[in-house]
Amino acid sequence: GHNFVGTEQILLGLIGEGTGIAAKVLKSMGINLKDARVEVEKIIGRGSGFVAVEIPFTPRAKRVLELSLEEARQLGHNYIGSEHLLLGLLREGEGVAARVLENLG
């Protein structure tokens, strides 16, 4: 694993969760976990295998979380769901996750 949580880990989590709105949207676009993992590895390589106890969010991943909150508020929701996280990833637009989504679909 990597010693950080980036936009790519958020994306892989959304796909891997499997039942949320984001997973369903991504599946309908033909995006699956295996292909997304391959794309992530192409872009950032494979992690070391050693994972620290505390894994920090990258600044870009923190920005995605902020954008997700904005999306939820704009939609009048009092929670942040997978759909808001996906919208946050798309709005951020420059991280590894955005590149993976662009490459896959």
Tell me the pLDDT tens digit for each residue of 48-76.
666 667 888 889 999 999 999 999 999 99
pLDDT at residue 39, rounded to an integer = 86
Q: What is the pLDDT of residues 7-36, one digit of tens each?
A: 888 888 888 888 898 999 888 888 888 888
Tokens of 15: 């796909």
Q: What is the pLDDT of residues 33-47, one digit of tens each?
A: 888 888 888 888 777
Q: Which pTM value belongs to this model?
A: 0.82
Higher local confidence (pLDDT), 52 or 104: 104
pLDDT at residue 69, rounded to an integer = 96
pLDDT at residue 1, rounded to an integer = 62
Which parts of the chain fold into alpha helices (H)? 7-17, 21-28, 33-44, 59-74, 82-92, 96-104
- Work out the number of other CB atoms within 10 angstroms of the CB of residue 68: 23
| Whether 96 contacts 6, CB under 8 Å | yes
Distance CA 70, CA 52 (A): 30
Q: Where are the domains of the chain?
A: 7-104
Tokens of 11: 């994306």
**Residues 6+ away with beta carbon under 8 Å from 62:** none
**pLDDT confidence bin for 84, thresholds 50/70/90:** very high
Q: What is the CATH number of domain 7-104?
A: 1.10.1780.10
**What distances in angstroms separate CA 91 from CA 11, 20, 64, 67, 68, one per listed residue?**
13, 19, 8, 7, 9
